[in-house]
Amino acid sequence: MAVNPPNLECRMYEAKYPEVDMAVMIQVKNIADMGAYVSLLEYNNIEGMILFSELSRRRIRSVSSLIKVGRQEPVMVLRVDKEKGYIDLSKRRVSEEDIQACEERYNKSKLVHSIMRHVAETMQLDLEDLYIHVGWPLYRKYGHAFEAFKVIVTDPDSVLNSLTREVREIGPDGQEVTRVVPAMTEQVKDALVRNIRRRMTPQPLKIRADIEMKCFQYDGVLHIKEQGIHVLNAAIKACTEAIDLHKGKLTVKEAPRAVSERDDKLLAEHMAKLRADNEEVSGDEETEEEEDTGMGEIDLDNAGVTE
């Protein structure tokens, strides 16, 4: 007997429809006579429509310059008819502040959704059921499940052990009783924590710049050396002050110094060897079933730094 695969399609939020005057992320699907049909990406791709009159505050000379099939962007919700399923949207009424807030929320929600979907798929669970008992309660408690996931990286029990669900059973006397049990099994909990840590643990990042300075006056080399070292020390000081404000730490592995062509050549060879070693390692690793998009453009602290 064939077993139906678990449902892996679900909206990101508990509400089935967005609220009026809310900015939502859409993807343009089709351009029609009256306007553009779009999918609301945060609401399981339910359909909405942007009338041409809601594309721009200015006179429209070319629709293709304002909206294109496949493009993703924030728009404003004008009307929601839950009975008929109609959602009217506007591009011209969304402000820069709305756009920024929507993109920030969507990037966090997309990462949460990717993790939840991957766990549901690998553990053969219904995605909506996982959201009902895990995802949406975390949205309610933390404002956004992303904030809960940040805590789970270092302290999963404080977040997940408080989640429960009710199950109905037949008691010894034949009567139906309701029992409160953990929201998920230990196996599902372990899979969720493992995926959250893999996707949300910050990865090391190195910043490097190559510059070339020339000075043709007398003692030019000496001026370059002195000025270059002075500028680099000032940059290190500024970086240290900036990272301290964000509770980070800057460590100077090697102080600024002048290098010869030979030193530069040795550094280039060393960097090339490191790149080659990294390519060999990544080629030997097994790939995940699901594409690992990492944290994308999300900052774990501020949800605003770029990848």
Please report the pLDDT score of residue 274 as a whole number: 76
Structural domain contains residue 120: yes
> Do the Cβ atoms of 72 and 25 come closer than 8 Å?
yes
Strand 72-81 to 176-182 pairing: unpaired
107 and 193 assigned to the same domain: yes
Structural domain contains residue 124: yes
- Say yes or no to pLDDT of 223 above 80: no
Of the residues 178, 200, 222, which one is the last residue of a structural domain?
200
Structural domain contains residue 45: yes
pLDDT tens, residue by residue, 253-304: 888 888 777 877 887 888 788 777 766 544 444 444 444 444 555 655 555 4
Structural domain contains residue 218: yes
CATH of the domain at 191: 1.10.150.190
111 and 188 assigned to the same domain: yes
pLDDT tens, residue by residue, 14-41: 999 999 999 999 999 999 988 999 999 9
CATH of the domain at 66: 2.40.50.140
| Domain limits for position 87 | 23-94
28 and 62 assigned to the same domain: yes
Least reliable range by pLDDT among 166-170, 204-208, 281-285: 281-285
How far apart CA 125 and CA 129 sit, in angstroms, is: 8
Q: Is the torsion defined by CA of 305, 108, 188, 121 positive or negative? A: negative
**Element of type H or E holding 182:** strand 176-182
Token pair 């402000």: residue = 95
Structural domain contains residue 111: yes
Structural domain contains residue 223: yes
Residue 30 phi, psi (nearest 5): -160, 140
What mean pLDDT, rounded, does the chain reach?
A: 86
56 and 35 assigned to the same domain: yes
How far apart CA 199 and CA 294 sit, in angstroms, is: 5
190 and 257 assigned to the same domain: no
| Cα-only R_g, the chain | 27
> Do the Cβ atoms of 290 and 114 come closer than 8 Å?
yes
pLDDT tens, residue by residue, 59-110: 766 777 788 999 999 999 999 999 998 999 999 999 999 999 999 999 999 9
> Do the Cβ atoms of 89 and 49 come closer than 8 Å?
yes
Structural domain contains residue 294: no
Quote the number of domains for the chain: 3
How far apart CA 75 and CA 24 sit, in angstroms, is: 6
- The candidate with the shortest Cα–Cα distance to 163, out of 187, 132, 195, is 132
114 and 192 assigned to the same domain: yes
pLDDT tens, residue by residue, 134-143: 999 999 999 9
How far apart CA 270 and CA 281 sit, in angstroms, is: 17
Token readout for 31 is 């351009």
136 and 220 assigned to the same domain: no
Please report the pLDDT score of residue 190 as a whole number: 97
